[in-house]
Amino acid sequence: MEQRLPDFMEVYTAWAQLQQGPKAELKRAVEPEDMIVVPAFYRLFSGRAGTEWEKQAFQRMIFCLPCITHTENNVKLGAALARGGKNGKPVGEKRLFQVIRSSPPNDMIQLRRILKMVEPVANWPMTAKQLWYWNDRSKRDLLEDFFLNKANN
C-alpha cells in the first residue's frame, strides 16, 4: 500500500495566511521539538497526521517552513542554497557538511540556521517532500543538488 503524501502547498498556503504573531512564534522555535508548544503549529498541522512518524515529519517540515520562500520553478533546496537566496549569498560548503554529518535533531537545527541565513527561494512541494522523508538519502540528495548547482554558478 502506497503512502499518500500531504498536500504540501496547502500547508504553505495556510502558513502564508497566518497573522504575523503566529508566524513569529514559529520562527522563534530553536529545535523541531519546540513546535509542540506553539499554537500556530497546530493550526498548520491539525488533523493531517495519524502516525508518530508523520507527526515528526510535520514537525521537521513546519520547523523549516518559515525560512523558505516558494517559487513555481523547479528549484530544489540544494540548488537554492548553492545559488543563494533572497540575500544572494550562497551557503558555504562547511556549513552544509555540518548538516550532513549531524544526527537528529541537530541536523534539522543546523539546516534551519542555514535556511535563516540564506533565505532560499525553492520549490516548496519539492523541498517539503525532502523534509518529509528526511534521512541519510535526503541529506545526500541535498548535498548532490548543492554541488551540481554550485558548479554551474
Query: Mind listing the pLDDT tens digit for each residue in 88-117?
Result: 888 999 999 999 999 999 999 999 999 999
Task: Please count the structural domains in the chain.
Answer: 1
Residue % of the chain over a pLDDT of 70 = 96
Please check whether residue 1 lies inside any domain of the structure: no
Q: Whole-angstrom Cα distance, residue 14 to residue 11? A: 5
Task: Tell which wins on pLDDT, 62 or 152.
Answer: 62
CATH number (domain holding residue 119)? 1.10.520.40
pLDDT exceeds 50 at position 53: yes
Please check whether residue 2 lies inside any domain of the structure: no
Contacts of 108 (CB under 8 A, 6+ apart): 31, 32, 60, 63, 64, 134
* Dihedral angle over CA of 137, 143, 149, 152, nearest 10: -130
For the entire predicted model, the pTM comes to 0.92
Please check whether residue 35 lies inside any domain of the structure: yes
Instruction: Give residue 50's domain range.
Output: 8-151
pLDDT band of residue 1 (cuts 50, 70, 90) is very low
Please check whether residue 108 lies inside any domain of the structure: yes
